[in-house]
C-alpha cells in the first residue's frame, strides 16, 4: 500500500529506531539504518517520486543549471550535509525519540544538483563526507561555498503546492 511521503518518512524513521534500539550495532545493522535513513531523507522532498535527481534537488550549481536541457548530461544529486553526519548524530543519541529523528531527517534533506567535475572538487577538498572546518552546524550549503561552487535555485524543483 502506497503512503504519502510524510507517512513514509515516519515509518522509515520508526524502522531505524527499532533497529537502533533492539539490535546490536554491527556492519549489517549500520547498513540497514543508513539505507532506511537515506530513503527517509530523499522522501523529505514532498515531490519525491524515486531517483530523479534533476527534480528532487532544491538547489543546483550554475554549471548544472546550464546542463539541465541535456538529458545525457551526467549530473550528481548530492546531500548538502553528508549523511555520514546524520548517522553520527543518530548513534550519539541512544534511545532517540521518533520526533527527534524525523526532525534530524528534515535537517539533512537539503539536496543539491552538481556536475561530476564539481563533485570531484568536493572530494579533492576532503569534503565528500564532512563539512568544512569551523562549520556552524547550520549552513547546509557551506561545502559548496568553501570550494567556490556557485549555487542557484533549481528551476526543475517543484515543492508541493507550486
pLDDT averaged over consecutive 10-residue blocks of the chain (162 residues)? 80 94 93 93 68 76 92 89 92 91 89 94 95 92 96 79 40
> Cα separation of 47 and 61, whole Å?
20
Per-residue pLDDT at 156: 83
What does the chain come to in residues? Answer: 162
For 138, counting Cβ atoms within 10 Å of its Cβ (0-12 exposed, 13-18 middle, 19+ buried), the class is: exposed
At which residue does the C-alpha cell 538547489 appear?
Answer: 59
Predicted structure pTM score: 0.83
With CA atoms as reference, report the closest residue to 115 among 69, 70, 73. Answer: 73
The three three-digit cell numbers of residue 25, written as one number:
550495532
Amino acid at each position: 500500500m502506497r503512503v504519502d511521503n510524510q507517512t513514509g518518512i515516519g515509518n522509515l524513521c520508526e524502522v531505524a529506531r527499532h533497529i537502533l534500539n533492539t539490535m546490536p550495532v554491527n556492519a549489517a545493522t549500520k547498513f540497514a539504518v543508513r539505507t532506511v535513513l537515506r530513503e527517509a531523507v530523499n522522501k523529505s522532498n514532498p515531490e519525491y517520486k524515486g531517483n530523479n535527481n534533476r527534480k528532487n534537488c532544491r538547489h543546483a550549481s550554475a554549471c548544472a543549471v546550464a546542463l539541465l536541457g541535456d538529458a545525457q548530461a551526467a549530473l550528481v544529486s548530492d546531500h548538502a550535509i553528508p549523511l555520514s553526519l546524520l548517522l553520527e548524530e543518530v548513534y550519539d543519541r541512544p534511545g532517540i525519540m521518533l520526533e527527534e529523528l524525523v526532525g534530524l531527517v528534515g535537517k539533512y534533506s537539503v539536496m543539491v544538483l552538481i556536475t561530476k567535475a564539481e563533485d570531484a572538487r568536493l572530494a579533492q577538498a576532503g569534503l565528500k563526507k564532512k563539512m568544512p572546518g569551523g562549520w556552524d552546524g547550520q549552513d547546509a550549503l557551506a561545502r559548496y561555498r568553501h570550494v567556490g561552487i556557485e549555487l542557484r535555485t533549481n528551476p526543475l524543483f517543484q515543492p508541493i503546492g507550486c
